């Protein structure tokens, strides 16, 4: 069944608890990328524009020490939200207590309240010890936060694969729950790719390790029509075929054996690179394209090669659903970004042809955004680990806790 969306709620006059993902990168208290704040604006605007009272909250970083508490103050994010939304944000520098309770109680229709980093509840400063009340879904904490509002909207996909006090804990203690517009998109695109993909359905997997993606590879072998593999993980697969991979990055023998078994299980669905850009050192100097059958002992593969891009283009021709997770090479180095740029180009082309193209969070999402392809694909996921678990077909607690329509 479909999930209830924020627009299904009657928010007028109601205190709406909105869990957003404001886990933004910061340097010396300054936000270096406000994409996640911008992404949450439609949901917050909907609530206040329709006479609701928005109570906004998020985690920021990991909080395991007093140093982390000082480093992960979310106040600058509240200020940025105020600038972007063009409306005063009442910020409370606390996660519990009378000041927060009074601020929530006195909030007027159309106003916004934001409180401090939810993960401050993971560390007791006075006792100088971890408590993990937020991260481990402490029952009393979830009940307390729920008491601040009338209904709950989850718009934080990045933490949807974890049951926390700020998502499942609150949802368990309020009568009405819904997904925000950002979470709705994740359900539509990634959930759609898992449950009812338009075919041909092609997955592209990159990144460094097979071990990080065992579950998703196994799931995609059974669900997708083809799985194209790039990134450093390709060398674990190539070694499993008995190829000389030179000085390229490769995992331990148990994962080489696993890669071999995955290739057997895939029965031809897994498509491996035929060439790579190699260098003699891990540095941003021009590489040489070599067949995967012609590596020297000191060759280090740092990107897929041009013939592999041609192969991937043929394999993707006519695809109706494409999911991509993980860069094709060391895209941070300009000499080894061509594989990742090439895949971005292929997805942009398919999008124009009407395919549903989904980039599943993490490094591939960062690469697509940095390279200017954010608006040239159907959807870029806001979650890394959550995207992978969702693609595996796992039930995500942060989605499961939202009411059905």
| Cβ–Cβ < 8 Å for 215, 232 | no
How far apart are alpha carbons 170 and 196 in whole angstroms? Answer: 30
36 is catalytic: yes
With CA atoms as reference, report the closest residue to 134 among 148, 115, 121, 123.
Answer: 121
Question: CA end-to-end span of the chain, whole Å?
Answer: 7
320 is catalytic: no
Catalytic residue among 62, 96, 136, 209: 209
Catalytic residue among 3, 36, 119, 162: 36
- Torsions phi, psi for 141 (to 5 deg): -65, -45
352 is catalytic: no
How far apart are alpha carbons 79 and 37 in whole angstroms? Answer: 11
Helices (DSSP H) in 269-324: which residue ranges?
306-316
| Cβ–Cβ < 8 Å for 245, 202 | no
Catalytic residue among 52, 361, 362, 383: 362
How far apart are alpha carbons 292 and 258 in whole angstroms? Answer: 20
Catalytic residue among 51, 61, 192, 385: 385
Give the DSSP H or E segment for 290: strand 288-291
How far apart are alpha carbons 29 and 170 in whole angstroms? Answer: 29
| Cβ–Cβ < 8 Å for 172, 39 | no
Tokens 């490094």 sit on residue: 363
- Torsions phi, psi for 239 (to 5 deg): -65, -35
Please give the DSSP secondary-structure letter assigned to residue 13.
T
Burial class (CB in 10 A: 0-12, 13-18, 19+), 339: buried
**Helix, strand, coil percentages, rounded to 5, for the chain:** 40, 20, 40
CA 338 from centre of chain: 23
209 is catalytic: yes
How far apart are alpha carbons 310 and 244 in whole angstroms? Answer: 23
Q: How far is CA 236 from CA 133, 310, 377, in A?
A: 39, 22, 29
Which amino acids are annotated catalytic?
36, 209, 362, 385
């Amino acid at each position: 069944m479909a999930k209830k969306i924020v627009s299904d709620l009657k928010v007028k006059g109601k205190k709406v608890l909105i869990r957003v993902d404001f886990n933004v990168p910061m340097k010396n208290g300054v936000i270096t990328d406000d994409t996640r704040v911008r992404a949450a604006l439609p949901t917050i605007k909907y609530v206040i524009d329709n006479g609701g009272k928005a109570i906004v909250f998020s985690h920021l970083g990991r909080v395991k020490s007093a140093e982390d508490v000082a480093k992960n103050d979310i106040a600058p994010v509240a200020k940025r939200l105020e600038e972007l939304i063009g409306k005063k944000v009442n910020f409370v520098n606390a996660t519990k207590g009378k000041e927060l309770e009074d601020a929530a109680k006195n909030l007027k229709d159309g106003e916004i309240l934001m409180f401090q980093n939810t993960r401050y509840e993971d560390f007791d400063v006075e006792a100088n010890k971890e408590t993990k009340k937020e991260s481990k879904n402490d029952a009393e904490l979830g009940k307390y936060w729920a008491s601040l509002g009338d209904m709950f909207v989850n718009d934080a996909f990045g933490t949807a694969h974890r049951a926390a006090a700020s998502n499942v804990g609150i949802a368990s203690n309020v009568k009405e729950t819904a997904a925000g517009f950002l979470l709705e998109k994740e359900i539509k695109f990634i959930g759609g790719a898992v449950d009812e993909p338009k075919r041909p359905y092609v997955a592209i997997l990159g990144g460094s390790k097979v071990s990080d993606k065992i579950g998703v590879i196994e799931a995609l072998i059974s669900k997708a029509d083809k799985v194209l593999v790039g990134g450093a993980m390709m060398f674990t697969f190539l070694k499993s075929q008995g190829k000389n991979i030179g000085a390229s990055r490769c995992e331990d023998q148990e994962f080489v054996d696993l890669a071999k078994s995955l290739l057997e299980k895939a029965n031809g669905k897994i498509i491996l690179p035929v060439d790579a850009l190699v260098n003699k050192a891990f540095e941003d100097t021009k590489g040489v394209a070599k067949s995967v059958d012609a590596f020297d002992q000191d060759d280090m593969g740092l990107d897929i090669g041009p013939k592999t891009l041609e192969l991937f283009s043929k394999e993707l021709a006519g695809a109706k659903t494409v999911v991509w997770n993980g860069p094709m090479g060391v895209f941070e180095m300009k000499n080894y970004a061509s594989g990742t740029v090439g895949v971005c180009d292929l997805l942009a082309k398919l999008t124009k042809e009407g395919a549903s193209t989904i980039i599943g969070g993490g490094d591939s999402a960062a690469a697509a955004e940095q390279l200017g392809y954010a608006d040239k694909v159907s959807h870029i996921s806001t979650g890394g680990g959550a995207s992978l678990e969702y693609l595996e077909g796992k039930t995500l607690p942060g989605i499961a806790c939202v009411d059905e329509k």
